Amino acid sequence: MQRRSLVVVTNRLPFDESVAPEGAFDWQHSSGVLVSPRHAHLREAPVTWVGWSGHAGPPPELPDTRGLRVRAVPLSEEEIRYHYEGYANATLWPLYHDAVEHPTHHRRWWEAYQRVNRRFAARTAEVAAPGAVVWIQDYHLQLVPALLRELRPDLTVGFFLHIPFPPPELFMRLPRRAEILHGLLGADLVGFQRERSARNFRLAIADACGIEAGQGPVRVDGRQVRTGVFPVSVDTPAVAALAEAPEVRARAAQIREDLGRPRTVLLSVDRMDYTKGIEHRLKAYRELVADDVLTAPDTVFVQVTVPSRERVDHYERLRERVEREVGRINGEYGRVGAARVHYLSRPLDRVEVAALYRAADVLLVTPLRDGMNLVAKEFVAARTDGGGALLLSEFAGAAAELCDAYLVNPHDTAGMKRTLLAAVGADAAENRRRMAAMRAQVTGHDLHAWAELFLEALVPPAADLAAPRGA
């Protein structure tokens, strides 16, 4: 069968542009399964990736690599401020994450959001082959499906939202709610991480657009728009191979040595984001330390936070609060040579992260709301030794699949303390059983399977009318 050519559209290109000009960037290093030669759709069809380089100014010229063409979309400094930092990350991001921080609304941000979405649509229309499949990703680009359909009705358009779609009570606060929904309804298939997001989307369509949206496809302008649930995952074989590398094993042993050979290593790895529940977790840990239940030097906590969206107010203030709390815990309960929190606030390379995963006894992932949380899945994939335990917020999308984690409500400090002690104190066989069940899950449902499932469900509209698939 002739494969359709594919265009993937993401706000940010999937590599670090600083290494790109020499042509030395490593596609395997990117988070995109879509560049993997294992992906059936890509073995037989050309792929184009459209996205922003991460910097202001003219787009870099990027060489084609292994059948992949990259086409960058330029953003000006003002568009980065208003589209990326403003509308995407200070309006939509907090609103879609249960408004745990207050969403800000500015008309000039909305104008920039429309302008940038139009530019992405135009660039995609320019590079897509006739009849191509276009897969648009995430909340930065919700207007692109409809804009693209206007420019290129011959394309089959899919959209996947990596973050939660909020309940209608929250979504209806958005001044331009109907425009966003009409943008998404330009797709043939709109995918979500969890069923509740798909349900919220259908409810919002009914409330904001007055379009009937029951269980089946939504009918819009004589077309059918389907919704579906496709939980994203990690590249399990690649993560497992990395974790098995001698370099990673040696580094993991060295980390435990450097930490003073504690009995228990607790670990968290997060982007510095207020959705991740970093403060809630630190509070529970501080109380356990104060109660003298987790004693030094038996137990150490390593908190890695990767700086993110640093010019957005919410993020700047969060960093100050987190650093104050870490300082407080170490100041009050640490001693010379025995910090209670080992705090690393910078990006770490993949070897170091994999080594930390392997060195940890318990990984704590405690978001207040998270579309999926791939750190949790990566940890499970990395523990090829069967060791470790996962403490996971029930508000992470991953909790729907990683049912054998120690599940917690991060708002319940007492419950979190109790569950953390249960994870630390459980016998090794129990923790191995839990990890084995979760490893089976991430092995059966990895990033490759995710992309495959979505693209298989993304059938052209004509076939759709003849034989509707999905919900």
Give the shortest CB-387-to-ligand F6P separation in angstroms: 27
Structure tokens at 407: 């599940």
C-alpha to C-alpha distance for 240 and 97, rounded to whole angstroms: 31
What is the sign of the dihedral through the CA atoms of 397, 26, 453 and 159?
positive
**Annotated catalytic residue: which of 235, 270, 370, 404?**
370
Please name the residue ranges forming H helices in 10-66: 40-43
C-beta of 30 vs 264, nearer to ligand F6P: 30
Q: Identify which of residues 52 and 171 has a Cβ nearer to ligand F6P in the complex.
A: 52
Q: Residue for token digits 């609060």?
A: 321
Q: What angle do CA 201, 127, 235 make, to 5 degrees?
A: 60
Instruction: Report phi then psi at 387, rounded to 5.
Output: -90, 180
Give CA–CA dist 426/406, Å, rounded. 11
Min. distance of Cβ 268 from ligand F6P in angstroms?
Answer: 17
**Residue ranges binding ligand F6P (CB under 6 A):** 12, 138, 162-163, 308-309
Report yes or no: 281 and 416 within 8 Å, Cβ to Cβ: yes
Q: What is the DSSP letter of 75?
A: B
Angle between helices 144-151 and 177-184 (to 10 degrees): 50
Distances (CA, A) of 104 to 200, 310, 392, 418: 21, 16, 29, 37
CA end-to-end span of the chain: 26
Distances (CA, A) of 252 to 257, 258, 404: 9, 10, 24
| Three-state secondary-structure class, residue 111 | helix
Which of the following is catalytic: 29, 55, 106, 162?
162
Q: How far apart are CA 135 and CA 159, in angstroms?
A: 6
Q: How far is the CB of 85 from ligand F6P (least distance, A)?
A: 9
> Cβ 312 to ligand F6P, closest distance in Å?
9
- Encoded tokens for 319: 């960093």
* The token pair that represents 327 in the structure block: 């300082």
Nearer to ligand F6P, 70 or 284 (CB): 70
Nearer to ligand F6P, 193 or 419 (CB): 193
**For residue 133, what are the β-bridge partners?**
6, 156
Active site residue 162: yes
- Residue 253: C-alpha distances to residues 49, 231, 260, 362 (Å): 39, 33, 11, 16
Residues 6+ apart with CB under 8 A from 203: 167, 168, 213
Smallest separation (angstroms) from ligand F6P to the CB of 42: 20
Smallest separation (angstroms) from ligand F6P to the CB of 216: 28
Query: Which of residues 177 and 271 has its CB atom nearest to ligand F6P in the complex?
Result: 271
Residue pair 304/348 in contact (Cβ under 8 Å)? The answer is yes
User: Shortest gap between Cβ of 15 and ligand F6P (angstroms)?
Assistant: 12
10 Å Cβ neighbour count for 34?
Answer: 23
CA dihedral 197→198→201→203, nearest 10 degrees, is -100
Cβ proximity to ligand F6P: between 18 and 295 the closer is 18
- Residue 63 vs 307, nearer CB to ligand F6P: 307
Amino acid letter, residue 187: A
Task: Select 163 or 294, whichever has its Cβ closest to ligand F6P.
Answer: 163
* Min CB(355)–ligand F6P separation in Å: 21
Provide, rounded to whole angstroms, the least separation between the CB of residue 296 and ligand F6P. Answer: 34
Nearer to ligand F6P, 96 or 343 (CB): 96
How many whole angstroms separate alpha carbon 348 and alpha carbon 419? 28
Residue, CB closest to ligand F6P = 162
Does a cis peptide bond (omega within 30 degrees of 0) precede residue 297?
Answer: yes
Residues with catalytic roles = 162, 370
